[in-house]
Amino acid sequence: MRSEAIQSNAQSIGSNFFSSKKNENMKNKSEILVQLNLSKKYLMTSFQKVQKISLDKKLSDDHLETLESFCSRFSRLSDIIIQKYFRVLAIEKDPAFRGSVIDLLNVAHKWGWINSPETWKRIRELRNLTAHEYSLDDIIVLYKELIHLTPVLLDVSHEL
């Protein structure tokens, strides 16, 4: 009798633990979705502005400021999507998942959340590059690639 009570109690504790973790994950997912949608909105605003800037001629200080803001917003949204959103989705699908960013991008592709892990690896690399100082010529190349990849970020659905 006593061992049955202990086993029942252990099952109850285990069940409560996983239920609690699932509820915590759902709360985190809701908070992440708020951050994701707000960051998408801000990036879209910056994206619309930078599309009007010619990167083939001398940039004004206002244009450089707009481009810097755009870079920051690109980086922030990519972080939210990769580090937070995809990770919470992966843990929701596989509670034991503890992989690296590369692992995360590979399972995101496997589970149909993204089309190309290579594109997302490049987004991650560009996000890391934006934190460093470069010559104006190098930064123009970076801006062009960020602009080119922005639709990929904006296309991530909050309904995964």
> Per-residue confidence at 137, pLDDT binned at 50, 70, 90?
confident
20 or 74: whose pLDDT is higher?
A: 74
Answer yes or no: are the C-beta atoms of 45 and 72 closer than 8 Å.
no
Question: Per the structure block, which two tokens stand in for 128?
Answer: 């890391």
Separation CA 131–CA 36 (nearest Å): 21
pLDDT surpassing 70 at residue 110: yes
- Note the pLDDT of residue 17: 46
User: Pick from 111, 41, 113, 110: which is nearest to 82 by CA?
Assistant: 113
- Return the number of other C-beta atoms located less than 10 Å from residue 90's C-beta: 19
- Note the pLDDT of residue 1: 58
CA dist 37 to 73, 114, 139, Å?
Answer: 12, 18, 27
- Return the number of other C-beta atoms located less than 10 Å from residue 87's C-beta: 19
Question: Per the structure block, which two tokens stand in for 136?
Answer: 């104006």
- Note the pLDDT of residue 18: 47
User: Pick from 16, 28, 27, 39: which is nearest to 156 by CA?
Assistant: 39
Q: Is 14 in a helix, a strand, or coil?
A: helix
Give me the domains of the chain, ranges plus CATH numbers.
2-154 (1.20.120)
pLDDT surpassing 70 at residue 4: no
- Note the pLDDT of residue 130: 86
User: Pick from 91, 77, 99, 87: which is nearest to 152 by CA?
Assistant: 77
